[in-house]
Structure 1
Amino acid sequence: MRPKKPKKQPQDQLFQVRLDVVCDPSNPLVKLADRINWDGLDEHFSSLYASAGRPATATRMLIGLTLLQSLYGLSEDDVVNRWSENPYWQYLCGETFFQYQRPIVRSGLSKWRKRIKDKGMEALLQQTLAVGLASGAVKDTSLKRVSVDTTVQPKAVAHPTDAKLLNRSRERLVRLAKKQGIVLRQSYQRKGPQAVLKAGRYAHARQMKRMAKEVKRLKTYLGRVIRDIERKAETTPKSLKTELALASRLLAQQRHDTNKLYSLHEPHVACISKGKAHKKYEFGNKISLCVTNKEGFIVGAQGLEGNPYDGHTLKGALDQVTDLTGIRPERCYVDRGYRGHGVTETQVFLSGQKRNVTPTIKKELKRRSAIEAVIGHQKTEGRLGWNRLRGVLGDKINALMAAIGYNLKLILRALSFLLQILKELVAGITGNLNQLTKETIASA
């Protein structure tokens, strides 16, 4: 059931403090809360609720917590536990009086993300764009000049090695078989970890033949467990069937195969080559970012499954920008990895291009590299450095949350800058009036 709408003017309470009295009206978070179209977002998400049942948590509360989590790069536990300590956070989430208890349980945010999916997150990104235009953080003319680039979003998985994956798959199968009441001939609970330890030591000592022997032994253990389960399982539930399929895929894959299995709990993770000395490979997925060429404001973010070619992702990135902004970009600036993009509706300029480049386009083409700084800030200060959300949907949502958090930082900085200018202007006017008053008194 949809959340109940709060009262427009709630009655004052004797022993509770109103947040509009405690909070500074000039605080950027207060100004941000007053500029967001909460009623429009509530109507946008109204179709996600059933017509009957217990009223759900207020939409503004869940959206506010999501914005705070994106802005400060916090986990669900941190944002829920720290909410009761900060009156400005409570004001952003729509509270009238200061609250001393946690607003929701931690799992409420993850369930909310699964409910709204990536399209709901795109609506929040679109709202940050509207607030950015209203606050002056980005100009509407800048939406026609964009820069697009891709980067890797590392997943929260352990570094994959054959020995660890084989032993981990055996352990998961043994645990599931025990739940189903299947008595195995041998579980290798003692010999499996010993083989993993030996393989790691041999690899460290560069004794590759001995290491390969231990890896082969682990494959033997896993194969015996798989065949034992298949013989004794009368009915195979879905969880056990999925785990058996992953184990068989792990046994069959070879060194130079494509679409290899690198993680058992995240089977879609891909190995993406970085080509850099300090980090040759990363395990995760590729994302596409689109920013305005002038301000670096993010107007599009897509989590892509696997490791697609950059040129094949450009059309989808520009289509997303058109849907969110309502304006089709006229010029797009990309690096040389986008050769063969096939986009015709928008002028696309590659880095280092010489033909058909006017002085204005040349200047904007130099600004293309500013998107690298945007990506770097999101990886070091935002959520792109380590994706902890599960599944393909988690990859898409985490990329959008990182974009939302970065845009909110630009908006808060613009609001703080406007406030500083206003204070200096008021101080200057007050000083001039005082000086004029003194001169008038002296002349009299």
Structure 2
Amino acid sequence: MLPKSPNDSAQTSFFDIANQLNSNHPLIALGNAIDWSLLEQEFKSLYSPLGRNAKPIRLMSGLLMLKQLYDLSDEGVVAQWQMNPYYQVFCGETSFQTNVPCHSTELVKFRNRLGKQGVEQLLKISVALHGEAAEEPTVLVDTTVQEKAITYPTDTKLAIKIINRLNKLAKTHDIKQRRTFVKEVRALRVVSRYFRHVHRRAKAKKALKRLRTIAGILLRELQRKLPESVLQKEADNFALYERVLAQQPKDKNKVYSLHEPEIYCVGKGKDHKPYEYGRKASVVSTLNSNIIVGVASHDIHEHDSKTLKAALASAEHNRQTPIKTAVADRGYRGSKRSVKPEVILPSAPLKRDSQEECQRKKYLCQKRSAIEPIIGHLKHDYRLCRNWLKGSQGDAINLLMAACAWNLRKWMVAFFLLEFRSGIWLFMIKIDRYDRNEIIWVHLG
């Protein structure tokens, strides 16, 4: 059912917090600056007119923002909301609430209800908060990897997980197995740890081969004994298991996780982390104000030059003015023909370029490095380092909310600095008046 509107009654009570908190707090100012009515109009079509009353859209949207803004889990942001009055005022409450706003699983359902397009509206609103600062004609573009919350993938781990899943499935449907191989798998797990040991590598390879054989035996037995209805329901999982058991180390499009089979491996060449498992993410920020105006999550492992078009399209969607110049690194070679804006890459100056044009390109390429710390903050402060949301949609939502949190934090910092400077100015005026009064008083005395 359509969500209830917040209580607009002017009646105050003992628990009223509207007049007890610091009205100049950045979080309260941010809540007043966001156009929540626009979100209600955008998300109204996602609710059914029937059923029980839903939670207010401002409450649920505010919880998503606070979760990403302060690097909290779904359970953590719900618990913090109950204890923090500033969180409650930001989400539209006028009196202090002693109960939790909702169960943490309702945030999962709300994210699924919004989907990627709904969360894009939150990012668009965060960009609009900055006004003309977000409309700069020159933007910076870079690509990173949003890693998934999976364990480091090995063929042994995948085979053991398949065996455990098949045994659990047989127990659930009361299938009497000839053998579960539990004791043998426990011993093979220990032997398989020595893949990097010079003298025990052969035994580890034999252990992996035996684990795959056991998984195949259990899989074929369940295919014979399970009812037809269960086989149809588990057809996709069984096909995934067969694909995992048949893949080889140098195969392309390998499966690295059973619960996230669509992720891919990206070789970054870093000493501390040579491979990253997840999806590529493109980030577009303005040149001087460093506001993130567009992001894009890429489901297919593509070269960076092929990701520029989707990234700039996202930025164009969130802005009012078109982008004229995009500055990127050397990984975007070959992307100039696929997009309309001018693309500047670090390279030797052209013969036809004037000295002024060479200086301009050199300056922009030096400024391009400003996007690197932005990506670092997105990863370590705004939950982009390890994504816990499921599927391709979860990757897109987490990336959009991280960018939204960055823009909100930029607005809060700018508001705090403005209040701080105005506070110093007023403080100096008071001191000046005090000194004058003291001088007058001494003179009169």
Report Cα offsets for 1:246-273 as digits up to 9, x if no partner: 1100111111111101100111121110
Confirm or deny: 8 A CA contact 2:284 2:295 kept in the other structure.
yes
Confirm or deny: 8 A CA contact 2:134 2:286 kept in the other structure.
no
Deviation at residue 54 of structure 1 after TM alignment: 1.1
Aligned AA for 2:121?
A
Q: Which is worse superposed, 70-79 or 322-331?
A: 322-331
Deviation at residue 216 of structure 1 after TM alignment: 0.6
The alignment's C-alpha RMSD in Å is 1.8
Report Cα offsets for 1:222-249 as digits up to 9, x if no partner: 1111111122223143542222111100
1:141–1:319 CA distance, 2 compared to 1 (3 A): closer
Q: Percent identity?
A: 35
Q: Which is worse superposed, 204-213 or 46-55?
A: 204-213
Deviation at residue 5 of structure 1 after TM alignment: 1.7
Partner of 2:255: 261
Report Cα offsets for 1:128-177 as digits up to 9, x if no partner: 112223xxxx71452x1101111011111011111111011111122123
Work out the CA distance in 2 between the residues paired with 1:201 and 1:236.
42
Deviation at residue 364 of structure 1 after TM alignment: 2.2
Partner of 2:403: 403
Instruction: Give the 5 Å matches for 1:137-156.
Output: 139-142=133-136, 144-156=137-149
Instruction: Give the 5 Å matches for 1:27-426.
Output: 27-133=25-131, 139-142=133-136, 144-201=137-194, 203-204=196-197, 207-237=200-230, 238-341=232-335, 342-355=337-350, 356=353, 357-426=357-426
- Consecutive unaligned residues of structure 2, counting only runs of 5 or more, are none
Work out the CA distance in 2 between the residues paired with 1:56 and 1:97.
20
Work out the CA distance in 2 between the residues paired with 1:407 and 1:191.
54
Aligned AA for 2:267?
S
1:253–1:65 CA distance, 2 compared to 1 (3 A): same
1:202–1:300 CA distance, 2 compared to 1 (3 A): closer
Deviation at residue 202 of structure 1 after TM alignment: 5.0
Which structure 1 residue ranges, 4+ long, deviate > 6 Å from structure 2?
none
- Consecutive unaligned residues of structure 1, counting only runs of 5 or more, are none
1:420–1:308 CA distance, 2 compared to 1 (3 A): same
Aligned AA for 1:303?
S
Confirm or deny: 8 A CA contact 1:3 1:56 kept in the other structure.
yes
Q: How many residues end up aligned between the 2 structures?
A: 437
3-state DSSP of counterpart to 1:95: coil
Confirm or deny: 8 A CA contact 1:318 1:328 kept in the other structure.
no
1:202–1:363 CA distance, 2 compared to 1 (3 A): closer
Taking structure 2 as the reference length, the TM-score comes to: 0.94
Confirm or deny: 8 A CA contact 1:167 1:218 kept in the other structure.
yes
Work out the CA distance in 2 between the residues paired with 1:10 and 1:439.
47
Work out the CA distance in 1 between the residues paired with 2:61 and 2:199.
53
Deviation at residue 195 of structure 1 after TM alignment: 0.8
Confirm or deny: 8 A CA contact 2:134 2:319 kept in the other structure.
no
Aligned AA for 1:156?
A
Report Cα offsets for 1:3-37 as digits up to 9, x if no partner: 12224334223xx3211112101111111111000
Taking structure 1 as the reference length, the TM-score comes to: 0.94
Confirm or deny: 8 A CA contact 1:173 1:243 kept in the other structure.
no
Work out the CA distance in 1 between the residues paired with 2:35 and 2:282.
27
